């Protein structure tokens, strides 16, 4: 049964559905809410033509800036198929009375899992040693084992979490179970650290941590926060992990820090431009391991995301919107 907004069915257009559902999930729940057009991908040149008849737009990474929003006279609602919503000009949307929602909780454990995948790769150089076995070095070894780098235990290390929200807190909980010391820096006034976590200033966190993990949103105040000066303040043995937003890091500065040994390594699931150009400085930086922005994308997490996107839209159509982003 379809849900009509004030008795009128609304046109739903999903601009870029492929990354959420490449074919292993069902759109049926969404289609039940109204006439629904689903595009796998939408280029910037295609946005207006595809969106102009829509009252409801759903987007993951297709940008909706103030200029395009100003041309979409019928638009009433934007559903972001993600937690981060920097691809939508929420101020322009609010000025036009357009509701914007996101999905804050779907990928918490999936992202936390990838944080530890990067952490364990950096401390045991899993990718390097697996590749070494594949090319025959273990078969040719004189001993039953070999290692090219010191193998590091995370127990006893200090993990610094920048942005101890849902995902940061989940990472902290797991880190404590591994015997790590956990410190955190939060930007929200009056924030309380999770149990067992010591609050510190952001600069103290970068100085003290053996591993820094980024979990804050990309805003004007956080853009480029990991800059040359902060990298220089870190221990030479420290690692940096980013599963949040690529723009948090000055990527030229990080590449220089890795290549010159200012820090020991980095594990990144996000970059400032995605996909990155082939000449991106971090693609060939020393001890830099990059995964293709897939921390959010486990099958279970995508299923939860699709369910929450559908429930957000259902709530809006029923007149009680949820997970609304304030412009």
Active site amino acids: 245, 274, 293
Strand partners, 17: none
Instruction: Give the torsion sign (CA, 67, 90, 185, 111).
Output: negative
E strands, 15-62, are 36-38, 56-59
What are the DSSP calls for 191-220, one per residue? --PPTTEEE--HHHHHHH-SEEEE-----T
Q: What is the dihedral of CA 206, 208, 211, 214, to 10 degrees?
A: -30
E strands, 53-178, are 56-59, 77-80, 99-101, 158-162
**How far is C-alpha 118 from the geometric centre of its chain's CA atoms?**
14
Overall size of the chain counted in residues = 327
Query: What does DSSP say about strands 197-199 and 211-214: parallel, antiparallel, or unpaired?
Result: unpaired
Integer angstrom CA distances of residue 201 from 160, 163, 180, 190, 280: 11, 11, 19, 13, 31
């Amino acid at each position: 049964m379809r849900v009509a907004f004030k008795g009128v069915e609304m046109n739903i257009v999903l601009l870029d559905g492929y990354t959420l559902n490449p074919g292993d999930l069902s759109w049926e729940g969404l289609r039940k809410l109204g006439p629904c057009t689903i595009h796998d991908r939408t280029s910037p040149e295609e946005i207006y033509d595809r969106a102009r008849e829509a009252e409801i737009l759903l987007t993951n990474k297709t940008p909706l800036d103030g200029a395009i929003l100003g041309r979409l006279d019928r638009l009433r609602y934007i559903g972001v198929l993600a937690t981060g919503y920097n691809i939508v000009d929420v101020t322009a949307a609010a000025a036009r009375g357009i509701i914007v929602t996101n999905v804050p909780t779907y990928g918490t454990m999936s992202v936390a899992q990838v944080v530890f995948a990067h952490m364990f790769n950096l401390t045991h150089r899993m990718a390097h040693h697996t590749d070494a076995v594949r090319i025959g070095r273990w078969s040719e070894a004189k001993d039953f084992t070999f290692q090219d780098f010191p193998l590091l235990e995370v127990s006893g290390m200090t993990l610094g979490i920048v942005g101890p929200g849902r995902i940061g807190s989940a990472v902290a909980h797991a880190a404590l179970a591994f015997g790590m010391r956990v410190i955190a820096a939060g930007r929200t006034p009056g924030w309380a650290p999770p149990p067992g976590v010591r609050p510190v200033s952001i600069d103290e966190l970068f100085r003290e941590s053996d591993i820094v993990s980024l979990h804050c949103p990309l805003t004007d105040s956080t853009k480029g926060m990991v800059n040359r000066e902060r990298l220089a303040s870190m221990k030479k043995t420290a690692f940096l992990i980013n599963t949040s937003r690529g723009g948090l890091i000055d990527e030229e500065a990080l590449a220089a820090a890795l290549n010159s040994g200012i820090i020991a390594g980095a594990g990144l699931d996000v970059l400032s431009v995605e996909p990155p150009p082939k000449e991106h400085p971090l693609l060939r930086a020393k001890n830099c391991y990059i995964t293709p922005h897939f921390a959010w994308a486990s099958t279970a997490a995508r299923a939860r995301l699709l369910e929450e996107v559908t429930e957000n839209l259902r709530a809006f159509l029923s007149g009680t919107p949820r997970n609304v982003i304030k412009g």
